Amino acid sequence: MAQLDRSNLMAHFREMVAKGQPIIGGGAGTGISAKCEEAGGIDLIVIYNSGRYRMAGRASSAGLLAYGNANQIVQEMALEVLPVVKHTPVLAGVNGTDPFVIMPKLLRELKDLGFSGVQNFPTVGLIDGTFRISLEETGITYADEVEMIRLAHEMDMLTTPYVFSAEEAVAMTEVGADIIVAHMGVTVGGTIGATSGKSLDESVQLIDEWAAAARAVREDVLVLCHGGPIATPEDAAYVMRKSQHCNGFYGASSMERLPTEIALTDQIRQFKAIS
């Protein structure tokens, strides 16, 4: 597929927001996921390493662990996904803390492959406690992810980073992020989803706090919600109704894992019910 121009994409997204239309993005761990998402009218697609694990029946959080080279996996997945997507912008999940890549070179390679933009994943933003402190103290930092987004912005790539606090929302907006994605944690539900987390109302409050902080830096930054208790279309609709600042929803498990689990299980039950 041809790479899509960032300025045109953002003009389109802002027009959607002005009309009150939600921006809907989704992760694609397989070619068929991307193909179906595009057929359904999705606005943007993201390929990142968790998609491979998720569609292999493992938890999305596997993408944070040392089961494979995240940036290499994305480039491999691109060969499966990009050829079947005809007109939807596709973004790459980039591990911004990877010390074994020359980041400008990696971003150029992703752009040449046909990616229209990037997202920061795997991200240390999902890690907290003593381990997070140790990572930050030893040079594996969220600031590296901010720098990756800055470089991508300078290369005129669409940037949609995950943020986990008001401070991170500000940092990403300051370096030119087009869309910040307020991450509420690993998606709940299904056979391999999380079983604990924030409530929908708590999520609304955090999304609005982080969005307000970002828009104090730059008013034109757009805001999507993701993860945690926001797992179904009804959940996303509730959040967008209650939120003052949310412009849409980005789903990964919500877009491919949960629908697959439900559809396949139901289909097999129907076959088994034949008498």
Check if the beta carbon of residue 246 is closer than 8 Å to that of residue 207. Answer: yes
CA-CA distances (angstroms) from residue 65 to 17, 69, 72, 156?
A: 36, 10, 14, 30
User: Given this model, what pLDDT does residue 253 score?
Assistant: 86
Check if the beta carbon of residue 71 is closer than 8 Å to that of residue 93. Answer: no
Average pLDDT, rounded, for the chain: 94
What the block records as the tokens of 258 is 């949960």
Angstrom distance (rounded) from CA 271 to CA 275: 9
Adjacent-strand bridge partners of 119: 93
144-173: b (≥16 Cβ within 10 Å) or e: bbbbbbbbbbebebbbbbbbbbbebbbbbb
- The percent of residues above 70 in pLDDT, for the chain, comes to 95
- The percent of residues above 90 in pLDDT, for the chain, comes to 87
Number of CB atoms found within 10 A of residue 206's CB: 20
User: Given this model, what pLDDT does residue 186 score?
Assistant: 75
What are phi and psi for residue 94, nearest 5 degrees? -115, 130
User: Given this model, what pLDDT does residue 74 score?
Assistant: 98
15-49: b (≥16 Cβ within 10 Å) or e: ebbeeeebbbbbbbbbbebbebbbeeebbbbbbbb
CA-CA distances (angstroms) from residue 55 to 20, 28, 76, 117, 228?
A: 32, 9, 15, 23, 18
What the block records as the tokens of 68 is 């494979």
Nearest to 141 by CA among 109, 102, 160, 168: 168
CA-CA distances (angstroms) from residue 121 to 205, 217, 234?
A: 24, 24, 26
Q: What is the pLDDT confidence band of residue 192, given thresholds at 50, 70 and 90?
A: very low
Angstrom distance (rounded) from CA 215 to CA 213: 6
Angstrom distance (rounded) from CA 60 to CA 67: 12
**Is residue 132's pLDDT more than 50?**
yes
**Is residue 194's pLDDT more than 60?**
no
Q: What is the pLDDT confidence band of residue 4, given thresholds at 50, 70 and 90?
A: confident
User: Given this model, what pLDDT does residue 258 score?
Assistant: 87
Chain segment 247-263, per-residue pLDDT in tens: 999 999 889 988 999 99
Check if the beta carbon of residue 79 is closer than 8 Å to that of residue 30. Answer: no
Length of the chain, please?
275
Instruction: State the pTM of this model.
Output: 0.92
Q: What is the pLDDT confidence band of residue 196, given thresholds at 50, 70 and 90?
A: low
Chain segment 53-97, per-residue pLDDT in tens: 999 999 888 999 999 999 999 999 999 999 999 999 999 999 999
